[in-house]
Amino acid sequence: MVFGMSLLLVQSALPYEHPLDGHTVREAYFLGQRHDEKTAKFLARYLKRPPLPKTGPHVAEIEIRTPYEQVVRRASQAAGSYSAQQAEQDYRAHPDRIVVRVRINLTPTYPAFIADPSRGKGEVRERPEDFWRDFSIRLVQGERITPRNASGRPLHTGGLAGPNPVVGALEGAEVLLEFDASQIRSEPLKIEVLTPNGQTVEVEFDLKELR
């Protein structure tokens, strides 16, 4: 009886999965390939959408991508023919990587154009496309976890198509932080986003409940 209880405790404390074996990669692949409500519900558990603030930029999405979730996502989004063998090859290219994605939207109180006194009274200039560097994104599990890599890209509204396409107006940015799975334990993980106007947006993912 004691052995059975111990086994139950061990099973309930199993972490999100890494590394993945071939069977698990195929399982994740087929879940992504379903393209149905089950796939959507699975992926939704890894995404938080904080509310729009009264003022300042909108931290619109905070997402965590575990190794298992990444296989499901690639299989779900792959265009054309995408096989289980390709899914395993893609996983092996980055087998123990965890990614945190943060989407930041501009708002009427944190717009694409800002005052530029150097040009004269009432003059404005476009906000720098790397404005996301003014945001601090922290992962905390007891202490702060340092990413192995961080990158960002601007997001624009739809521009004009044609032989000389025009990029639309700046509307936000997407930031990606990459971690080794060994850096992150199977327990609640807090993600904090500190904005330039002094706001803190905070969400939590319980990795004991995610794969």
CATH of the domain at 41: 2.60.40.10
Please report the pLDDT score of residue 128 as a whole number. 96
pLDDT band at 167 (very low <50, low <70, confident <90, very high): confident
Q: Please report the DSSP string for 105-142 in residue order.
A: E-BTTB-SEEE-GGG-TT-EEEPPTTGGGGSEEEEEES
Q: Considering only 62-76, 81-95, 116-130, which range has the smallest mean pLDDT?
A: 116-130
Higher-scoring residue by pLDDT: 167, 206: 206
Decide if 25 contacts 74 (C-beta within 8 A): no
pLDDT band at 15 (very low <50, low <70, confident <90, very high): low
Q: Considering only 9-23, 29-43, 153-167, 180-194, which range has the smallest mean pLDDT?
A: 9-23
Stretch 152-170: mean pLDDT: 80
Domain of residue 71, residue span: 16-206
Whether residue 7 lies inside any domain: the answer is no
Report whether pLDDT(5) > 60: no
E strand or H helix at 202: strand 200-206
Whether residue 211 lies inside any domain: the answer is no
Taking the C-alpha atoms of residue 36 and residue 76, their distance in angstroms, rounded to an integer, is 9
Taking the C-alpha atoms of residue 211 and residue 202, their distance in angstroms, rounded to an integer, is 22
Question: Minimal CA–CA distance to 63: which of 78, 49, 77?
Answer: 49
E strand or H helix at 60: strand 58-65
Decide if 211 contacts 168 (C-beta within 8 A): no
Whether residue 4 lies inside any domain: the answer is no
Whether residue 3 lies inside any domain: the answer is no
CA distances from 204 to 13, 45, 95 (A): 18, 11, 24
Report whether pLDDT(2) > 70: no
Whether residue 33 lies inside any domain: the answer is yes
Please report the pLDDT score of residue 158 as a whole number. 82
Name beta bridge partners: 156.
170
pLDDT band at 143 (very low <50, low <70, confident <90, very high): very high
Higher-scoring residue by pLDDT: 90, 165: 90
Please report the pLDDT score of residue 69 as a whole number. 97
Whether residue 147 lies inside any domain: the answer is yes
Please report the pLDDT score of residue 104 as a whole number. 98
High-pLDDT (> 70) share of the chain, %: 89
Whether residue 126 lies inside any domain: the answer is yes
Strand 200-206 relative to strand 124-126: parallel, antiparallel, unpaired?
unpaired
Please report the pLDDT score of residue 122 as a whole number. 80
- Please count the structural domains in the chain: 1
Q: Backbone dihedral region of 172: left (phi > 0), alpha (psi from -120 to 50 degrees) or beta?
A: left
Higher-scoring residue by pLDDT: 79, 71: 71
Tell me what the pLDDT averaged over the chain comes to. 90
Model confidence pLDDT, tens digit, residues 118-129 = 887 888 999 999
CA distances from 190 to 127, 142, 146, 166, 207 (A): 29, 9, 13, 39, 10
Report whether pLDDT(56) > 60: yes
CA distances from 163 to 9, 127, 157, 160, 166 (A): 62, 27, 18, 10, 10
